[in-house]
Structure 1
Amino acid sequence: MYVNTSNITLPDDDNTVIWKYLDLSKFLDMLLSRQLFMSRSDKFEDQYEGTFSEPTFEEIKKIAADNPEFLDFYKSHREKVTISSWHINEYESFAMWQIFTQNTEGLAIQTTIGRLKRALEKEKKTEQFIGEVNYIDYKKEFIPFDDNFFPFLFKRKSFQYEREIRIISDMSKKGIRIDNGLKVDVDLDEMIEKIYIHPKSENWYKKLVIELVSKLGFDFKIEKSDLESDILI
């Protein structure tokens, strides 16, 4: 279930538009399972994911000098935190299509922060928190480590283009083994407002997606990417 907390921040407007770009195989897995996949935090491509900035690490080393278990806890904690990444943008992003879809057979889910919150109410076994990522200079800026969301809502400034919103779940107290990630129940009809087909895909691909979605019992609005609009001269 979605849990609100003052420790992490989100845009005030629940109508803020967010996107998830993914390949067809991952999308079909979502529809078949009616669950949202959340990746283990140390499985992301960015090797800095869930690590400390240099000023923060210096502070933690001082504490760990008398309490070695303090540092060991944060090292192992990355294996127990799961994340689902979303992109804030009023419009489609050409860069996101390039980065997060492997070929022309990708698609994008459009929704809002409010719809995402409501969709997560279906999950009863675990708690999910939604927060906006802060982009900082890891050589100069300090990451506060006074709550369980540290340091999973911070990334290097070079990733600022992602404008990321994250669903985060801390499984450290659940005793659940996590391999690559975790699936959580979600109301897909609430979560998915609209689906956009990859701008470079063929018409047959759009028809295929429409047919697959229909056969699986869903009635999402499906459109070709706005980036493939007719050229006006």
Structure 2
Amino acid sequence: MYVNHPNITLPDNNDTIVWKYLDMSKFLDMLLSQQLFMSRSDKFEDQYEGTFSEPTYEEIKKIAANNPKFLDYYKSHREKVVISSWHINEYESFAMWQIFTQNTEGLAIQTTIGRLKEALLPESQTEQYIGAVNYIDYKKEFIPFEDMFFPFLFKRKSFQYEREIRIISDVSANGMKIDNGLKVDVNLNQLIEKIYIHPKSENWYKNLVIQLVSKLGFDFEIEKSDLESDILI
């Protein structure tokens, strides 16, 4: 269930377009389970996920001097936070295709922030928040730590190209133990506005995706990527 969080910022316009780039296996898993996978924060490739900038860490060390458990709690808390990453962009991103799809059989889900909010179902075991990632200099800039979500909503400036929106959830209160991540129930018809097929894929692949989606009872609009349109001379 989506819950508004007073300390987490998000673009005001619910029509802001967001994307998720993924391979066929992950897409099929989403359709078959009708659930969205959220990865455990410490399982991301970026080892800085959920950690602090240097100025913040120095401040926390002072507090932890008299309370060693304070720092240990922050370290272990990364295992209790799960994240689903989305990319803000009015248009397709060539860079995102390159980074997040390993071959020519990838897909991109296009939706909006408003649809993301509405797609998260109230029956879920955990509350989900949605926030925009802030990109800062980890050597110089301070990350607030009065809210437990803040370390997961900041990344290094070198990741600015991601323009990331995150669905984020903390399972601490539920006493849940998670391995690689957690699946949450979603309304896929609400979540997915349109599907784009990898720009370098063959026509048979687009037809396969159309058939699979239809056989599973969905009627999403499916397009071939605009990045491979015919050259006009």
- Bin of the TM-score, shorter chain as denominator length: over 0.9
Asked if 1:179 is matched to 2:188, the reply is: no
SS of residue matched to 2:109 = strand
Amino acid in the other structure paired with 1:194: K
- CA–CA distance in 1 between the matches of 2:79 and 2:126? 16
1:5 offset after TM fit, Å? Answer: 1.4
Q: Percentage identity across aligned positions?
A: 85
**Structure 2 equivalent of residue 131 of structure 1:** 131
Partner of 1:145: 145
Separation in structure 2 between the aligned mates of residue 150 and residue 72 of structure 1, nearest angstrom: 17
SS in 1 for 2:84: strand
Q: Which amino acid aligns with 1:149?
A: F
Question: Please, which runs of 5 or more residues in structure 1 have no aligned partner?
Answer: none
- Report deviation, 1:121: 2.9
Gapped runs of 5+ residues in structure 2?
A: none
1:106 Cα deviation from its structure 2 partner: 0.2
8 Å contact kept, 1:123–1:186 = no
Q: What is aligned with 2:38?
A: 38
1:192-231 matches, cutoff 5 A: 192-231=192-231
Look up the equivalent residue of 1:16 and give its one-letter code: T
Aligned residue runs from structure 1 range 1-233, under 5 A: 1-233=1-233
Letter in 1 for 2:112: T
Distance 1:123 1:87, change over 3 A: farther
Contact (CA 8 Å) 1:192, 1:220: kept in 2 or not?
yes
1:18-53 per-position Cα deviation (integer Å, ceiling 9, x unaligned) = 000000000000000000000000000001111110
4+ runs deviating over 2 angstroms: 121-124
Pair 102,123 (structure 1): closer, same or farther in 2 beyond 3 Å: farther
Find the residue that maps to 1:158 and give its secondary structure: helix
Cα distance in 2 for partners of 1:193, 1:63 equals 47
Distance 2:161 2:214 in 1: 34
CA distance in 2, matches of 1:6, 1:90: 26
CA distance in 2: counterparts of 1:230 and 1:14, whole angstroms: 33
Letter of the aligned partner of 1:115 in structure 2?
A: R
| 1:124 to partner: Cα distance | 3.0
What's the CA shift for 1:122? 4.4
Letter in 2 for 1:167: I
Q: How many residues align?
A: 233
- CA distance in structure 1 between the aligned counterparts of 2:122 and 2:5, rounded to whole angstroms: 19
State the Cα distance separating 1:164 from its structure 2 match: 0.0
Task: Provide Cα deviations, 1:193-221, integer angstroms capped at 9, x if missing partner.
Answer: 00000000000000000000001110000
On the 8 A contact 1:122/1:186 being kept in 2, the answer is no
The Cα offsets for residues 173-232 of structure 1, whole Å up to 9 and x where unpaired, read as 111110000000000000000000000000000000000000111000000001011111
Computed over aligned residues only, the root mean square deviation of the Cα atoms, in angstroms, reads 0.6
Q: Letter of the 1:25 partner, please give it.
A: S
Contact 1:97–1:198 (Cα < 8 Å) also in 2: yes
TM-score for both structures, normalised by structure 2:
0.99
Contact 1:134–1:154 (CA under 8 A) maintained in structure 2 = yes
Amino acid at match of 1:29: D
